Structure 1
Amino acid sequence: MKLTKTRNGPNTIDTLRREMDHFFDDLVPFSWNREQSGRSLGTWTPNADITENEERYQVMMDMPGMDKNDIKVSYHDGRVSITGERKSEEKDEKDDFIRQERYYGSFYRSFMLPEKVKEDDIKASFEDGVLKVMIPKAEVVKPKSIEVS
């Protein structure tokens, strides 16, 4: 009969990942804290998906409860920046929170793009609490072959 050693608790990879998260959280005092979903700072940061194909980059961010007038998208030197603020709702003074998981306040997200883009053709739309930013890629200048005579 073969005996195997079992562990109660996280494996080595999980421990390493947690330690690396703590290391980077200590380096940047206002960074996203994965274990507490950013709540240790009383702030929130919307999640983002970034995709790419041959023609464009696309950034999609979930921002439930926000108004499109409270969101700003900018592009400068190869970096797309998205800022905004989710405003708190009016609270009835008679009601006490039993649990509060929704966070309010301002946020800032910035993404560096690896290639040139058509700055004037960047489009952003906001629908059903989702921001979609379409960033078309610039035409790549291909090297011209010169025939030697």
Structure 2
Amino acid sequence: MVEKSHSAGFWPSLYEPFRGLGSRVADWFAPASEASVDEGGYRIRMELPGVAEKDIKVSLDDGVVTVTGEKQSSREETGETWYFSEREYGSFSRSFRLPPDADGKAVKAELKDGVLTIGVGKKAPSESGCGTEIPIAKG
């Protein structure tokens, strides 16, 4: 058991709520996602409500699909005696490593109703199923 020193005063306790703030902020901007697979290929769905298509970039590099973007939304309401404004801004990035049988040439992305769906096809299995025979040279 570790005890706090009473001689340290109130300063250590004052900063306690801010520990780990960076990771919590990163989680706040990381959009919720799910990945699935079926016979036809792999599918990644990501919730991006309020994010415009022009603010989203989907890329494939070395077997990793990366989705980056920036959320910019605001809401304002006014009344006779009141004013209310909410704004959300922030960048995000999520990466997904694809399995070896994913076909990087068969990738499609669609944004509909605030949900980004990325489909990745599968490579056709080799006909023999046992690989390629390599001839042996005589030495």
Of 51, 67, 76, 2:61 maps to 76
Q: Distance between the aligned counterparts of 2:68 and 2:107, measured in 1?
A: 16
Q: How many Å apart are 1:137 and its aligned residue?
A: 1.3
Q: How many Å apart are 1:120 and its aligned residue?
A: 2.0
Q: How many Å apart are 1:108 and its aligned residue?
A: 0.2
Asked whether the 8 Å contact 1:115–1:137 carries over to 2, the reply is no
The residue that corresponds to 2:96 in the other structure is: 111
Q: CA RMSD in A?
A: 3.0
Structure (1 or 2) with the larger CA radius of gyration: 2
Alpha-carbon distance change, 120 to 88 in structure 1, aligned in 2, over 3 angstroms = same
Given the two structures, how large is their TM-score scaled by the length of structure 2?
0.64
The residue that corresponds to 2:52 in the other structure is: 67
Q: Give ranges in structure 1 of 5+ residues lacking alignment.
A: 1-24
Deviations along 1:59-80, whole A, 9 cap, x unmatched? 0011111111111111111111
Asked whether the 8 Å contact 2:74–2:88 carries over to 1, the reply is no
Of 115, 123, 130, 1:143 maps to 130
- Give percent identity, aligned residues only: 33
Given the two structures, how large is their TM-score scaled by the length of structure 1?
0.60
* Higher share in strand: 2
SS of the residue aligned with 1:69?
helix
